[in-house]
Amino acid sequence: MRTTKATEKTRLRMSDILVNGALALLVLAWTIPTIGLLVSSFRTRFDIQTSGWWSFFPHQEFVKVEEFEIPADLNRDGVMNIRGAQGTFEQFRNGVTTPDGRQRLIWIGNKRLGRLEVQQQQWITGYKLTLDNYQQVLGGKTFEIKQPDGTVVTEQGDNFSGYFLNSLIVTIPATVIPILIAAFAAYGFAWMSFPGRRTLFIMVVALLVVPLQIALVPILRDYVSLNLNGTFLGVWLAHTGFGLPLATYLLYNM
The pLDDT value recorded for residue 136 is: 76
Residues 189-212 pLDDT 10s: 989 888 888 899 989 888 888 888
Q: Are 43 and 49 in contact (CB under 8 A)?
A: no
User: How many CB atoms are located within 10 Å of the residue 96 CB?
Assistant: 21
| Distance separating alpha carbons of residues 123 and 63, to the nearest angstrom | 9
Is pLDDT of 157 > 70?
Answer: no
Which residue type, as a one-letter code, is found at position 161? Answer: S
The pLDDT value recorded for residue 149 is: 64
What percentage of the chain reaches a pLDDT higher than 70? 91
Is pLDDT of 26 > 80?
Answer: yes
- Which of 248 and 58 is assigned the larger pLDDT? 248
**Rounded alpha-carbon distances, angstroms, from residue 189 to 4, 18, 203, 252:** 46, 39, 12, 7
| Distance separating alpha carbons of residues 42 and 38, to the nearest angstrom | 7
Average pLDDT on 130-159 reads 71
Residues 132-146 pLDDT 10s: 778 777 766 676 666
The pLDDT value recorded for residue 140 is: 65
Contacts of 131 (CB under 8 A, 6+ apart): 42
The pLDDT value recorded for residue 53 is: 84
Of how many residues is the chain composed?
A: 254
Q: How confident is the model at residue 184 (pLDDT cuts 50, 70, 90)?
A: very high
Is pLDDT of 183 > 90?
Answer: yes
The pLDDT value recorded for residue 25 is: 93
Strand ranges for the chain from DSSP E? 59-69, 80-82, 85-87, 96-97, 103-108, 115-124, 142-146, 152-156
Q: Are 205 and 249 in contact (CB under 8 A)?
A: yes
